[in-house]
Amino acid sequence: MILELDCGNSFIKWRVIHAADAAIVGGGIVDSDQALLDEVAALSQLCLAGCRIVSVRSEEETAALCALIAQAFGVFARVAEPAREMAGVRNGYDDYQRLGMDRWLAALGAFHLAKGACLVIDLGTAAKADFVGPDGEHLGGYICPGMPLMRSQLRTHTRRIRYDDASAERALSSLAPGRSTVEAVERGCVLMLQGFARIQLEQARALWGERFTVFLTGGDAPLVRDAAPQARVVPDLVFVGLAMACPLD
């Protein structure tokens, strides 16, 4: 079995797969290293042969997590590293090492699945879009605040915006103009995300006509589903790229 980790800015997504056929044994989302160790250890008949990690955290934080994993499960954790070119995709950044590894791996996974031009929209703590041309040229992308950041900036920098998580969830039953603070903020931020998605689709169309594949991933992907009906929702897109960048056998 292989332990796969996607360490984002707010959450760690994990899953355990069988080495032979990539069948999923278990998985989840946690908000701390300790919670990760607890959840993975709780899997019955756990028998890890390896571990691969993609992280957008600092090198120190990532190394600390690798040490914890070695200690808890006795496996070496292989960390995905930046590359100028991999699996037919050429990194489009002036300094390829600066491109976020989650974006790079999602782009690798997307080009592999699309076998042609693709647009990746990844909605997590940050909202990201990346463009890969028909020949595998990564054209670059965009980074904006995602839903959690937009919401918390409004809460932090205003006196009268305050509400709890339960009312936030209820507010999203519709996107009609809000008649309460929670509706106005939550729906407003969702419309921002949808606007982000639509403008990226427009750019992709300007570049490639109708000949491209759109991928939607990240925890908040469902919020823009309607704005991008043609998109393939692939929640584990980063893991697809991770397996390509860190083969373990």
Ligand X SMILES: CC(C)(CO)[C@@H](O)C(=O)NCCC(=O)O
| CB-count exposure of residue 166 (10 Å: 0-12, 13-18, 19+) | exposed
Q: Which stretches of the chain bind K ion, using CB under 5 A?
A: 8, 102, 124
Residue ranges of E strands in 23-176: 24-30, 50-55, 77-79, 85-86, 89-90, 118-123, 126-132, 138-145
Q: Does 11 bind ligand ATP (CB under 6 A)?
A: yes
Strand partners, 213: 118
Q: Does 218 bind ligand ATP (CB under 6 A)?
A: yes
Nearest to 66 by CA among 126, 10, 12: 12
Binder among 66, 126, 171, 189 for ligand X (CB under 6 A) = 126
Q: Does 147 bind ligand ATP (CB under 6 A)?
A: yes
**Shortest Cβ distance from residue 154 to ligand ATP (Å)?**
14
Is residue 52 within 8 A of residue 248, CB to CB? The reply is: yes
Paired sense of beta strands 12-17 and 89-90, if any: unpaired
Three-state SS at 83: coil
User: Running DSSP on this structure, what letter comes out for residue 137?
Assistant: B
Of 98 and 157, which CB lies nearer to ligand X in the complex structure?
A: 98
Residue with tokens 């079995």: 1
Of 140 and 148, which CB lies nearer to K ion in the complex structure?
A: 148
Q: Which residues contact 2 (CB under 8 A, 6 or more apart)?
A: 16, 17, 18, 19, 48, 49, 50, 51, 52, 248
Report d(CA 116, CA 7) in Å as an integer: 28
Residue 248 contacts which entry, ligand X, K ion, ligand ATP, none (Cβ below 5-8 A, type-dependent): none
Q: Does 126 bind ligand ATP (CB under 6 A)?
A: yes
Of 183 and 220, which CB lies nearer to ligand X in the complex structure?
A: 220
Is residue 106 within 8 A of residue 113, CB to CB? The reply is: no
**Shortest Cβ distance from residue 195 to ligand X (Å)?**
19
Closest residue to ligand X, based on beta-carbon distance: 100
Q: What x-and-dash track marks residues 80-109 binding ligand X by CB under 6 A?
A: ------------------xxx-xx------
User: Among residues 102, 130, 220, 236, which one is catalytic?
Assistant: 102
102 catalytically annotated: yes
Q: Binding site annotation covers 181? A: yes
Tokens linked to 112: 């592999």
**Shortest Cβ distance from residue 30 to ligand ATP (Å)?**
8
Closest residue to K ion, based on beta-carbon distance: 8
Q: What x-and-dash track marks residues 30-69 binding ligand ATP by CB under 6 A?
A: --------------------------x-------------
What are the catalytic residues? 102
* Binding site residues, ligand X, CB under 6 A: 8-9, 56, 98-100, 102-103, 126, 128, 143
* Binding site residues, ligand ATP, CB under 6 A: 8-11, 29, 56, 102, 124-126, 146-148, 218-220
